[in-house]
Chain A
Amino acid sequence: MSGVELIFYPFIIALLTAVFFRQNSAVSKFVALALFTYMLLFSINLFSQLPSSGYLDLGTYLSVPKFDFILTLKVDMLSTIMLTLTSVLLLLVALSSWSMKNQALYYSLLIFFSGAIFGVFMSTNLLWFFIFWELTLVPMYFLVGIWGEERRIYAAVKFFLYTHVASMFVLLAFFLIHKEAGTFDMTLVREGMLLSPVLIWWLLFVGFSVKMPLFPFHTWLPDAHVQAPAPISVLLAGVLLKMGAYAMIRMVLLLLPETSQQYAWVLLVLGLITLFYAGFMAIYETHLKKMVAYSSISHMGLVAIAMATLSYSGLSAALYEMIGHAFVIAPLFLLAGFFHHKTGSWEMKDMGGIMQKAPYISAIFVLAGLGALGLPGTMGFVGELSILLSSIKSFGLWMAVVAFGSMLGAAYIIWTLRRVIYGEMSEVVRKTNFSMNIFEFLALAIFALFIILFGVFPNLLFEYINPAFAQFTSLGGAL
């Protein structure tokens, strides 16, 4: 399958899966697994075809010249990394949803989502980018609304409305870009062509901050992530937030570099507030999944700080942290959901002593937790250290405050571990049987493997990440 088929076939496959496998829903799992494996191979294969700099052309389709409404598919190193990350996560999410109810519809929505998200990362026409960007909301709306927890309907509608409103600013900015630069193709737009870059910058910034999310636009996230079923929380945190960060890098920082230089302080300040605010909220939370959600927001604050440096090392660090965050937060969400499923409670006080009942599962939780607080040897450490170093290099020594953010991380993670995994065994845990499906455990084990592998050998990733920002080499040294 070529790039465009990989976007549109999933929509058709999704419809067929929902219609024909309704009675025989186990087949839908294997359809999804096969498709996501193919997507992963496709993305990995792209690395070998990429030119040393610039874009690899994957074709243009559905051309409407007058409106410049052309499906232009081009990938570069940055989008290929995002494609690979997305397909890995989709594959693991498909594995960890093995025992969902109403599987035909569930997996067909996942397949639909995979097509839309590939469109986001592949298309360079702004209007088509926006189309796929919005299209990811529809399957997410249904996935949260149908399979979510108690307050799922509120969370689903809030998520849909909130992010849709934000997207409207983005669409207006794209319209202004087309009016002023005469093209929707982001690879052809230069900042010098624009008459009102400041207005466009702010519209884009607000639109993408909601998705990332940055304080004060983060309020949809705790609801959506907590009410979503655990595998979907992984997709929200691992793919949807990354989509926001990707758009922030590509459309704001790389497309409008001069205005971004001028307003980088906004990104920096919001990033710092997000880091600390979400960190304190995570300490305060006794709801296990909410704690993980706030920890997720806090890490996106770190990503925003790294982006604000607008330097080669900063952006590389941001991209590394985006990947690291996806792998670290995923097992935390999955296990929070698993513990809730088994104990019937979200409150940490009802858990405790799970280590004695389920040592392997708890070990993965501890490992992911340590990754989230940045223990050396895990992905979290490399990400946080490189962000700290690059921000000190760009903004001066006072950026050492970022380290306090990591200390907040240590506080909420260690305290959570003490209350949930260690400590005295609670009554609820004593009565619970923590047996896990082999496929779900496999997904967790792969996540754990990645956390250690890329934590010990970060260069395996940096080898690919660094060339993504080659145009910034003039601005500062490499890691």
Chain B
Amino acid sequence: MISAFTILFTMALVSLFFHRSFLLKPLSLVALSAAFYVTLGGAVVPLIGFATNEQIKLFELVLEIVLFASILHESEEITITQTLFLGAASVLLLQSNTLVSFILSFEALSIISVVLVSYIKTKNQAQGAVKMFIAGSMATGIVLLGSAFYLMGGGMLLEPLSSKGSEFMNIGVALMLAGLFYKLTIVPFHGWAIDTYALIRHSHAAILSGIAKTVAALAIFKIFAPFLAEHITLSLPLLATLAIITMTLGNFLALFTKNIARILSYSSIAHAGYMLIAFVAVKSTYADEGILYMAIAYIFMQSGAFLALDSLKKEYDIKTLDDLKGFASQNSTLSFFFTIQLLSLAGIPLLAGFLAKAVVFYAGVDAGLWWLVLIALLNSALSVGYYAWIIKSMYFDEGTLKERLVDLHLPQIAQLILAAGTLYFGVFASSVFM
């Protein structure tokens, strides 16, 4: 049976033989297009413990588009291979339906993420990779410990998460969530993320914070939402507190940062806080659409922003806000795409970021949590402060002309694809509400 997973996994294996060949990139793109086509046709997953539905299918399509764009952007062969492996693992994780399949595919995704960042050329990258490796191993340990508690309480490995058991199950789920929140960079489990995202290569950060994190968030929601809904009295105060701390801390720290990669890392943490609102408002019928919309919007805008930053660094060696001054007059195309993604992250309408926030926050209001939504809205308004500041550096400041180190064309097509996605899902919401 041909499915998106088999195509991606096979291509990832085959790509090992095409190293240093000009064929690698076109072949990968063809494979991704084939995976897109197969997903569009609605291939059934025959494996036990895996299931798919319309929403997961839509997200897989989006995921394949974003993977396509990031491979188009990428110039290192080894990263292309790893991206394909990561895509295969992501498809598995999204479709996993039982605890054991979830944990296994989650581990697969984590291991590939670690391999991805281990492509080390400088001391800084080594620091980022090691931090991620240590934090990731911790998280894995905690998830496994949590699942052990869960099984001790009477849970079943080969079934979806249920709450028919003893108190140990609650402890187990709480521990598993703690481990998983490492990946989602929820405060206070966020420490590793800022350094890792900011220090490793920006195109890797795009995959890590844009793709891997979003896939994890959606998969965690799919597995854990029924359980959280049943224990709403326990989960609501805890998760609401985490959501408030996460978005507030992320936004405030971003305000006082000069390094663009760090700003995007903090903004990634703040967005994890917004996503958590869907977990809090799990009782609402809008929570499903909320997290799905957030995932779709976020995967486009976060990967877009980080990939644009990667081009900025490669082509002009831009790192801080000061380097960015007057950039719009130099490369208006790149700054236009970067601006679109930043405005979307800031939640400006007609871009996906706004509708995603609107649906997630509406789910919060629908669940009766208007105070939480008010805090989230004010946070989102505050975040305009630093996004607008980046745009200000590009457009309003006078800068010195920078020397163009290399001339890249494919990344601009990648940017076009991602910006088109951000625009499309900012206007046509009907595809998400099925």
> Can you list 5 A-B pairs with a CB-CB distance of less than 8 A?
A65-B433, A66-B433, A67-B429, A145-B395, A172-B373
Q: Is B396 an interface residue (CB 8 A)?
A: yes
Q: How far is the CA of A160 from the CA of B391 in the complex (A)?
A: 12
Contacts of A414 in B (CB 8 A): none
Contacts of A169 in B (CB 8 A): 374, 377
Closest residue of chain B to A168 (Cβ to Cβ) is B377
| Residues 387-414 of B contacting A (Cβ, < 8 Å) | 388-389, 392, 395-397
Q: How far is the CA of A156 from the CA of B395 in the complex (A)?
A: 12
Please list the 3 inter-chain residue pairs (A to B) with the smallest Cβ-Cβ separation, ordered nearest first.
A131-B349, A168-B377, A175-B365
Closest residue of chain A to B377 (Cβ to Cβ) is A168
Q: Which of B349, B389, B433 is A134 in contact with, Cβ under 8 Å?
A: B349
Q: Do A138 and B380 have beta carbons less than 8 Å apart?
A: no
| Residues 322-338 of A contacting B (Cβ, < 8 Å) | none
Q: Do A132 and B349 have beta carbons less than 8 Å apart?
A: yes
| Residues 156-185 of A contacting B (Cβ, < 8 Å) | 156-157, 160-161, 164-165, 167-169, 171-172, 175-176, 178-179
Q: Do A146 and B396 have beta carbons less than 8 Å apart?
A: yes
Q: How far is the CA of A164 from the CA of B361 in the complex (A)?
A: 16
Would A141 and B365 be within 8 Å (CB), given that A131-B350, A165-B378, A172-B370 are in contact?
A: no
Q: How far is the CA of A420 from the CA of B361 in the complex (A)?
A: 52
Q: Do B354 and A131 have beta carbons less than 8 Å apart?
A: yes
Q: Do B381 and A165 have beta carbons less than 8 Å apart?
A: yes
Contacts of A137 in B (CB 8 A): 348
Would A69 and B392 be within 8 Å (CB), given that A135-B349, A135-B350, A168-B378 are in contact?
A: no
Nearest CB on A from B273, distance (A): 15
- B-binding residues in A (CB < 8 A): 11, 62-67, 69, 127, 130-132, 134-135, 137-138, 141-142, 145-146, 152-153, 156-157, 160-161, 164-165, 167-169, 171-172, 175-176, 178-179
Contacts of A131 in B (CB 8 A): 349-350, 354
Contacts of A178 in B (CB 8 A): 362, 365
Q: Do B358 and A127 have beta carbons less than 8 Å apart?
A: yes
Counted as pairs of residues, one from A and one from B, with CB atoms less than 8 Å apart, the total is 92
Contacts of B392 in A (CB 8 A): 145, 153, 156-157
Q: Do A161 and B384 have beta carbons less than 8 Å apart?
A: yes
Contacts of B338 in A (CB 8 A): none
Q: How far is the CA of A63 from the CA of B171 in the complex (A)?
A: 44
Q: Do B388 and A161 have beta carbons less than 8 Å apart?
A: yes
Q: Do A175 and B343 have beta carbons less than 8 Å apart?
A: no
Nearest CB on B from A145, distance (A): 4
Would A175 and B384 be within 8 Å (CB), given that A131-B350, A134-B348, A135-B348 are in contact?
A: no
Q: How far is the CA of A179 from the CA of B354 in the complex (A)?
A: 19
Would A69 and B389 be within 8 Å (CB), given that A134-B349, A164-B381 are in contact?
A: no
Q: How far is the CA of A62 from the CA of B433 in the complex (A)?
A: 12
Nearest CB on A from B165, distance (A): 34
Q: Is B115 an interface residue (CB 8 A)?
A: no
Q: Is B359 an interface residue (CB 8 A)?
A: yes
Closest residue of chain B to A165 (Cβ to Cβ) is B381
Contacts of A63 in B (CB 8 A): 430
Nearest CB on B from A66, distance (A): 5
Nearest CB on A from B349, distance (A): 4
Nearest CB on A from B283, distance (A): 13
Nearest CB on A from B316, distance (A): 21
Q: How far is the CA of A157 from the CA of B397 in the complex (A)?
A: 13
Contacts of A65 in B (CB 8 A): 433
Q: Do B370 and A176 have beta carbons less than 8 Å apart?
A: yes
Nearest CB on A from B332, distance (A): 8
Q: How far is the CA of A64 from the CA of B350 in the complex (A)?
A: 15
Q: How far is the CA of A447 from the CA of B370 in the complex (A)?
A: 46
Q: Is B30 an interface residue (CB 8 A)?
A: no
Q: How far is the CA of A161 from the CA of B392 in the complex (A)?
A: 13
Contacts of B343 in A (CB 8 A): 138
Nearest CB on B from A67, distance (A): 6
- Give the one of B286, B354, B384, B396 with max A CB within 10 A: B396
Nearest CB on B from A184, distance (A): 10
Contacts of A138 in B (CB 8 A): 343, 348
Closest residue of chain B to A144 (Cβ to Cβ) is B396
Q: How far is the CA of A305 from the CA of B120 in the complex (A)?
A: 67
Q: Do A64 and B433 have beta carbons less than 8 Å apart?
A: yes
Q: How far is the CA of A178 from the CA of B389 in the complex (A)?
A: 33
Closest residue of chain A to B374 (Cβ to Cβ) is A172
Q: Which of B358, B380, B384, B429 is A160 in contact with, Cβ under 8 Å?
A: B384
Q: Which of B289, B380, B381 is A67 in contact with, Cβ under 8 Å?
A: B289
Contacts of A161 in B (CB 8 A): 381-382, 384-385, 388
Closest residue of chain B to A177 (Cβ to Cβ) is B365
Contacts of A67 in B (CB 8 A): 286, 289, 359, 362, 429, 433
Closest residue of chain B to A71 (Cβ to Cβ) is B427
Nearest CB on A from B14, distance (A): 40
| Residues 416-434 of B contacting A (Cβ, < 8 Å) | 427-430, 433
Would A175 and B350 be within 8 Å (CB), given that A157-B392, A165-B381 are in contact?
A: no
Contacts of B374 in A (CB 8 A): 168-169, 172
Q: Do B377 and A172 have beta carbons less than 8 Å apart?
A: yes
Contacts of B385 in A (CB 8 A): 157, 161
Q: Do A168 and B381 have beta carbons less than 8 Å apart?
A: yes
Nearest CB on B from A204, distance (A): 14
Q: How far is the CA of A130 from the CA of B377 in the complex (A)?
A: 14
Q: Is B107 an interface residue (CB 8 A)?
A: no
Closest residue of chain A to B389 (Cβ to Cβ) is A157
Contacts of B322 in A (CB 8 A): none
Closest residue of chain A to B329 (Cβ to Cβ) is A102
Contacts of A165 in B (CB 8 A): 378, 381-382
Q: Do A153 and B348 have beta carbons less than 8 Å apart?
A: no
Q: Which of A64, A145, A172, A175 is B396 in contact with, Cβ under 8 Å?
A: A145
Q: Is B366 an interface residue (CB 8 A)?
A: yes
Contacts of B366 in A (CB 8 A): 179
Q: How far is the CA of A152 from the CA of B365 in the complex (A)?
A: 37
Contact with A along B272-297 (1 / 0, CB 8 A): 00000000000000100100000000
Nearest CB on A from B58, distance (A): 14
Q: Do B365 and A168 have beta carbons less than 8 Å apart?
A: no
Q: Do B396 and A62 have beta carbons less than 8 Å apart?
A: no
Q: How far is the CA of A168 from the CA of B349 in the complex (A)?
A: 12
Q: Do A153 and B365 have beta carbons less than 8 Å apart?
A: no
